[in-house]
Amino acid sequence: MTALSGGHLATDFASGSVPAMLPFFAAKFDLSYTLTAVLMLAALASSSLTQPLFGLWSDKRGALWLLPAGIALAGAGIGLAAIAPTYALLVPIVFFTGLGVAAFHPEGAKFAVFASGRKRASGMSLFNIGGNTGYALGPIIVTPLVVWLGLGVGGVLASIPVLIGAVVVLTALPHLSRLQPVAVPGRRVTEARDDVRAMVILGGVIGLRSVAWFGLLTFVPLWVVSLGNSEADGNRLLSLMLLAGAAGTLLLGPTADRFGLRRTLLVAQAVLTPMILVFVLVGGVVGAVALMAVGICVVGTFGLTMVLSQMYLPQHVGMASGLSVGLAMGLGGVAAVALGGLADAVDLRTALICCAFAPLLGVVLCFFLPAPNVAGPVATAPSSAYPLLD
């Protein structure tokens, strides 16, 4: 789990560096809100479109080599993006960075399940704490490097620890290859059946959550700049949100193991809209605290939705992981571009208020999520262990 979480940290550090660099890319190439959001879409679309395919590959053939290869591609991508001479070249480089992120996650999540034993929500939280911490460290480390050394040198230096992470995970592959799934005693693999309808409903919850989340990731730094502050101030607030989310991962995983995955997801989803509105309309210290609450409720539930997706599609664990993460990235990227267009047409404040209301629909969908039918090689507990209302 340490190796998997560490690899997740390196991968998502590269992923988190992209939104941290957006204000600097916007200044370098004189980008509008829409063109800035296209960069986020390029990174997220490559992950969303290809991650389920990597997951299918993982389910059918197994591909442990994707773990170090994905990390290495993501690390090389942010270094090359930092020195891209034109916007036309920058977009495809950011796209290939997303491919590295897509390659790592399904295989990494599958083996995190194997390493988690019977406490899957807690185990997945340990896996995700690496990724969430890495994503939070992206703006914390990249911003001062770029401010101090410039976009080119600072971005290249930021890619080095990611490449080192790829080497470390490569050395751990022999041990990871010996991990085996944990089965429920007395149940056969053939008893586990995919629940496609439940996965579709869960996909709706994930997508609506992502509209708000990736809107904030893209525009929080730019919102702070629009209020008269610096790019560094914006990235510090972004880092605060992401660090709170990393803490939320450790909090909500054990909470879900105790009170239920669906119940925990429902409560966290319900908190999002009022907290985003407080951030935009109130601001200041109160707004910063509200943004931290958003980070806890969004990032803290990433692991929960991944576990639920694996339980709804127990015959295709890698595919489930790819859909859970990839769907969030793809819909979030499309939403970011749409919100960027709205910000250009009206103003950024209106765009942020609009993105706040998407999670309310997700709250409704949460009531329709069925109890997962747990069986087979990824099962760790009977479905009754995950109640919504009982």
Place of tokens 């944990």: 182
Q: What pLDDT was estimated at residue 93?
A: 95
Give a yes or no: residue 230 inside a domain.
Answer: yes
Give a yes or no: residue 248 inside a domain.
Answer: yes
Give a yes or no: residue 20 inside a domain.
Answer: yes
pLDDT-based confidence at residue 120 (cuts at 50, 70, 90): low
Give a yes or no: residue 219 inside a domain.
Answer: yes
Q: Under 8 Å CB-to-CB from 22, ≥6 apart: which residues?
A: 36, 39, 40, 218, 221, 222
The per-residue pLDDT of the chain, averaged, comes to 82
How many domains would you assign to the chain? 1
Give the integer Cα–Cα distance in Å for 89 and 377. Answer: 44
State the average pLDDT over residues 277-302: 91
**Given CA atoms 274, 277, 281, 287 in this order, what sign does their dihedral have?**
positive
pLDDT, one tens digit per residue, over 325-334 is 666 666 766 7
Give a yes or no: residue 388 inside a domain.
Answer: no
Q: What pLDDT was estimated at residue 365?
A: 93
Q: Closest Cα partner for 259 from 119, 120, 388, 117?
A: 388
**Given CA atoms 125, 104, 326, 14 in this order, what sign does their dihedral have?**
positive
pLDDT, one tens digit per residue, over 230-239 is 877 887 888 8
Using DSSP's 3-state secondary structure scheme, residue 381 falls into coil
pLDDT, one tens digit per residue, over 79-94 is 999 999 999 999 999 9
Please report, as a single letter, which amino acid is at residue 183: A
Q: What pLDDT was estimated at residue 376?
A: 41
Angle between helices 348-356 and 358-366 (to 10 degrees): 10
State the average pLDDT over residues 313-336: 72
Question: For residues 335 and 301, which has the higher predicted lDDT (pLDDT)?
Answer: 301
Give a yes or no: residue 187 inside a domain.
Answer: yes
Give a yes or no: residue 176 inside a domain.
Answer: yes
pLDDT-based confidence at residue 378 (cuts at 50, 70, 90): very low
Q: What pLDDT was estimated at residue 121?
A: 62
CATH of the domain at 291: 1.20.1250.20
Which residues constitute the domain of residue 132?
2-383
DSSP letter string over 155-196? HHHHHHHHHHHHHHHHHHHHHHTT------TT--GGG----H
- Whole-prediction pTM: 0.68
Give the integer Cα–Cα distance in Å for 317 and 105. Answer: 12
pLDDT, one tens digit per residue, over 180-225 is 655 444 444 445 688 889 898 998 899 889 888 888 887 888 888 8
Q: Which helix (H) or strand (E) holds 347?
A: none
Give the integer Cα–Cα distance in Å for 337 and 318. Answer: 28
The full length of the chain comes to 390
State the average pLDDT over residues 308-329: 76
Using DSSP's 3-state secondary structure scheme, residue 203 falls into helix
Give a yes or no: residue 278 inside a domain.
Answer: yes
> Among the listed ranges 18-27, 50-59, 244-253, 379-388, which one has the minimum average pLDDT value?
379-388
Torsion over CA of 39, 279, 282 and 289, rounded to 10 degrees?
A: -140
Flag whether pLDDT at 382 surpasses 60. Answer: no
